[in-house]
Amino acid sequence: MTPDTLVDTDAGELLREVLQDHVGRPRRLVVLAMSKDENPKTTVMVLPERASAPTLAVKVAWTSGARAAVAAEAAALRQVVAADPGLVGDTVPRLIEERQDARGAVMVTTAQRGISLSVDYHRWRHTARPRTVEHDFRCAAGWLDRLALVPLADVVEAGESDALAPGAALARKLVARWPADPVALQLAERVRDSGALVGSGSSSSVVHGDFWCGNVLRRGGLVSGVIDWEHAAFGGDPVRDRVRFALSYALYLDRHTGPGRRVTGHADLVAGRWGEGVRYAMEGSGWFPRLVQAFVALGLQQTDRDPGLWRDALLVGLAEVAAGSDHEVFAGQHLALAASLSTSSVAPAGSARPQSAVAGPAATSGRSAARGGIP
């Protein structure tokens, strides 16, 4: 494949120039992903001649919105390396170049080794087995705990914060997106209350902002890379990443099960409506709901908050996706799901406290708490 066949616009010329500057010829290119949202980007992995693995990852923007996303990710990677020159144990891509001109935008980073966790997620019966799912959550928690220890003094000015959107701010975003939608208006009121309950905790950290299986790479059962940093925040609430991981993991549990059929490994989950896995995680019983609830509850406890607010934190996380997604259908689905869960009579706000969330050495509160995963 050549850049000409990859991009048939002026961005193709820019891509050719960037590739020539960094690897010359000959080279091999692999199109790893082309996003399908309203601001599409293409990711190209670059393998020098005779190399067995990619050495560079090149992201190409297709629209003005995508150009802004590339610029945001490049800025975030600069901030990460400023705060942590070790790039969280070499799991964060190192920015090599960002190039933007009238023709388009291209960002070049190092290529992280590993296989996407989403590949494992969709393997036969992977999500049906408590052992494999618990390992996924432990990997996520361990990496997030390491990220939370990155010092912010060099990248965040005193008083500056991108913490978890307070309830009021998130409510305004929902109303701004759906000003005449009674469902959005009702959800905004609930989110204002839940956000106030959850607060932002006793500590702030670097927040990835889109921490889900597709952005986590593993080798040998350990996290080897975390990619796509365009939504990162500095001085934010670390629970946001736990919430995003848990929600996205639950969302696709019934992906390979026909409607009306019970999902293997999850006695209380029957495939059906969109978002049934999230409903199951928040309102069902069994090992998976307990795991999700404990995972979020522990994050709250580590930042000196009531772990019983796990449900409110998950509800706020759903609303954040609804307010912020640039895919209109996906945003609307999250709006409807959050609204239905916000009026549920199951586990009212702040009432549930998963027992496992306070077990073991990680029960110590505060940023200095023992780190390293779920109980």
Q: Give me the pLDDT at residue 37, please.
A: 63
Q: What is the pLDDT of residue 343?
A: 86
Q: Which two tokens stand for residue 71?
A: 């610029």
Long-range pairs for 324-331 at CB < 8 Å and ≥24 separation?
324/173, 326/37, 326/38, 326/39, 326/65, 327/37, 327/38, 328/38, 331/177
- CATH no. for 3-110: 3.30.200.20
Q: Where are the beta strands (DSSP E) in 238-306?
A: none
Contact 263, 270 (CB under 8 A): yes
CA distances from 19 to 2, 44, 136 (A): 11, 10, 35
- For 93, list phi and psi in degrees, rounded to 5: -60, 145
Q: CA 189 to CA 168: how far, in whole Å?
A: 9
Q: Is 345 helix (H, G, I), strand (E, B) or coil?
A: coil
Cα(288)–Cα(355) distance, integer angstroms: 14
> SS3 of 132, please?
helix
List the chain pLDDT tens, one digit each, 375 residues.
444 444 445 777 888 888 888 887 767 888 876 666 666 788 989 988 777 889 999 999 878 888 999 999 999 999 999 999 999 999 999 999 999 888 889 999 999 999 999 999 999 999 999 999 999 999 999 999 999 999 986 565 434 444 445 688 899 999 999 999 999 999 999 999 998 889 877 778 999 999 999 999 999 999 999 999 999 999 889 999 999 999 999 999 999 999 999 999 999 999 999 999 999 999 999 999 999 999 999 999 999 999 999 999 999 999 999 999 988 999 999 999 999 999 875 544 444 455 544 333 333 334 433 333 343
Q: How many CB atoms lie within 10 A of CB 109?
A: 22
In the prediction, which pLDDT does 309 show? Answer: 96
Pairing outcome for strands 216-219 and 205-207: unpaired
Find the helix or strand (DSSP H, E) in which 251 lies. helix 239-251
Q: Which CATH architecture has domain 115-363?
A: Alpha-Beta Complex (3.90)
Q: In whole angstroms, what is the distance from residue 98 CA to residue 359 CA?
A: 46
According to the model, what pLDDT value does residue 52 have? 82
The answer for residues whose C-beta is within 8 angstroms of residue 142's C-beta and 6 or more apart is 223, 371, 372, 373
What ranges do the domains of the chain cover? 3-110, 115-363
d(CA 210, CA 229): 7
